[in-house]
Structure 1
């Protein structure tokens, strides 16, 4: 009995999984499209309708609408070309070649994306039958039925919004960077070459996570478009996208920071003591801890802006940045003395300070607010331009 709640929790957690959502909706849409095509067409086995529904139904409503429109346009274009060829030349080897060429070119012109081959396929299937007009009607009708059923299903059963999984993934990325910085700060005094190279490899692996999270964020952005369950989808999209862009820059800087520490550790290999003497290692440890707190606070701030109040997260981030800048000034003075003792290492010391400065600047609260304001302004400007395009076109037509 104790295992039942645990299993139920796992099922509920998997309910909004993209694979589960896609499988369930595709199955239901295909069955409904088949039933509708049986009633609305004369074909005894209208399998093209469920096939279209399978291709059209996507995880998000926006993707379903765009896929439905592209598939219908591609099929209609292919059928029209086939009807024209059947009336003019019929089916020969050279007319088939011309049909395929014209269909592919027309598909590119119509911008049906992945459905470009569908234009040629529809044309060939219609051209190769005896009753061209009847086959053309049936093919278009079944395609439209499948596309309409798939679209209506996603309108009636609104797809889930994937903003929360994307925000959780971004927060997890910030958590990994926080743990890496914390680990570095704890071992600054006695780090060896193997540990420093391990940090560098861990920083490089962050790039793979960023690519994966970028895909999740793109799906989340798509799930907010035309979704009746989302009211401020554009704001959430801007918050998450700008946050991921900032963390991506921080990951690059962190990789460079780890490279500097690895070079310092390699130079010190075989010598007694750590990379830095104790009077420098302790303040550097404090500085890296403050930067780690700032990165973690930044990740929580992004999530808070999406889900709840962000005041507390913003205050914690601002305090961590304030402490980090104060610690940075202290360590800068100590590193000046260190460079006087070891002038051959001034480039590595300067790179270390420059990377920490860049991290603190990228995580700055005011900088982020300014970036969000600029992103919102650009979005509003694009919306105004889209609204003015039909009016400008109408004015040009009237002028002509």
Structure 2
């Protein structure tokens, strides 16, 4: 019974994934576009309409609007090019080649982006049919029907907002970073410098870069999903919070990779002895543990800004950062005393402290608030430059 419930829960969870949502939405929109084209045109099999709807309907409303406009432009440009060619030359190998060159060139000038090949495809299909005028008109009508159905489909059935999915990806990335710091804190307390284990941790730290790229793609999708979406109250703030949060975690990933490299270099020089002195290792372990908690709390703060409990998350982060700073000062005093007695690899000890300082600086709450304010001001300034009349009208309305 429990297995059945788990399967049902897993199926329900998968039903909200982007791939499943895209499949269902595209199929429904394509079917409706075909029915509309059969009703509005005399074409026996208007397959271009469902094809257009299939390509126009995207996961987000913003992508649907921009994609629909570009695709219609691409088809119309291709039809116009083919109509001009049909009035001058017939279909032959040299005219086809000249047509393709012309269509692709005009497509780039028309700025249809990824639909440049569609310009050439439309031109070839129209030129290859005997009755050019009717074919061109039918093709344009089918394309418009498919695009309109796709746009209306997303306007009536609002697409999902992928902020929660992006927040989960950010939290998972922070959990991976936290786990790496916890494992490093455990390795440095071994009786002998664990070179193989630290080499594995360095490999995991390098893997975090690829994980950041995946989270970045998820945030990009979330940013598009909140644009022009009436269900989101503060789309600009949501986008900036997620993006700046990922930027900070990305910098921390670089610091973690450098820190792992420093620990490995220190272990290679001390293979037959402890990585750190007996009195320094516990303090360093406490410092890394506090850093792990700070990273985890920072991710919670980012996701709380787009949901609830932001004040509580900020309080936890402040506590973790204060504990990490106290531990850092304790480790610095112990290392300084040891270096004065035995100055071996003093530069690696200094590098570890510098890396800890950089991470604490990136996770600082005041710095994050200043960064958010700067980004909001920048977005507002760009909006005023792009739409000065709208800004004046808004200001006048507020007065």
State the TM-score, normalized to the length of structure 1.
0.94
- Alpha-carbon distance, 1:236 to partner: 1.2
Matched, 1:214 2:253: no
- CA RMSD of the aligned region, Å? 1.6
Give the distance between the partners of 1:295 and 1:126, measured in 2 at CA.
59
Aligned to 1:103: 103
Aligned to 2:126: 126
- Alpha-carbon distance, 1:4 to partner: 4.4
- Aligned to 2:387, the other structure's residue is in SS state helix
Matched, 1:373 2:346: no
Aligned to 1:194: 196
Aligned to 1:396: none
**Aligned with 2:264 (options 258, 262, 265):** 262
Aligned to 1:329: 329
Give the distance between the partners of 1:197 and 1:288, measured in 2 at CA.
18
Matched, 1:351 2:351: yes
Determine if contact 2:283/2:330 at 8 Å carries over to the other structure: yes
Give the distance between the partners of 2:3 and 2:89, measured in 1 at CA.
70
Matched, 1:67 2:60: no
Give the distance between the partners of 2:198 and 2:176, measured in 1 at CA.
17
- Aligned to 2:207, the other structure's residue is in SS state helix
Aligned to 2:170: 170
- Alpha-carbon distance, 1:3 to partner: 4.2
Query: Mapping of 1:127-146 within 5 angstroms?
Result: 127-146=127-146
- Alpha-carbon distance, 1:266 to partner: 1.1
Give the distance between the partners of 2:179 and 2:118, measured in 1 at CA.
50
* Structure 1 unaligned spans of 5+: 392-400
Give the distance between the partners of 1:388 and 1:94, measured in 2 at CA.
50
Question: CA 1:41–1:233 in structure 2 vs 1: closer, same or farther (change >3 Å)?
Answer: same
State the TM-score, normalized to the length of structure 2.
0.94
- Alpha-carbon distance, 1:390 to partner: 9.5
Give the distance between the partners of 1:115 and 1:358, measured in 2 at CA.
45
Aligned to 1:397: none
Question: CA 1:390–1:304 in structure 2 vs 1: closer, same or farther (change >3 Å)?
Answer: closer
Determine if contact 1:175/1:296 at 8 Å carries over to the other structure: yes
- Alpha-carbon distance, 1:176 to partner: 1.4
Aligned to 1:226: 228
- Aligned to 1:279, the other structure's residue is in SS state coil
- Aligned to 1:278, the other structure's residue is in SS state coil
Give the distance between the partners of 1:100 and 1:213, measured in 2 at CA.
39
Determine if contact 1:189/1:277 at 8 Å carries over to the other structure: no
- Alpha-carbon distance, 1:318 to partner: 0.9
* Structure 2 unaligned spans of 5+: 392-399
Aligned to 2:394: none
Determine if contact 2:171/2:300 at 8 Å carries over to the other structure: yes
Determine if contact 2:187/2:198 at 8 Å carries over to the other structure: no
Give the distance between the partners of 1:68 and 1:341, measured in 2 at CA.
71
What whole-Å deviation, never above 9, does each CA across 1:79-106 have from its counterpart, x for those lacking one?
Answer: 1111111122333433322221111111
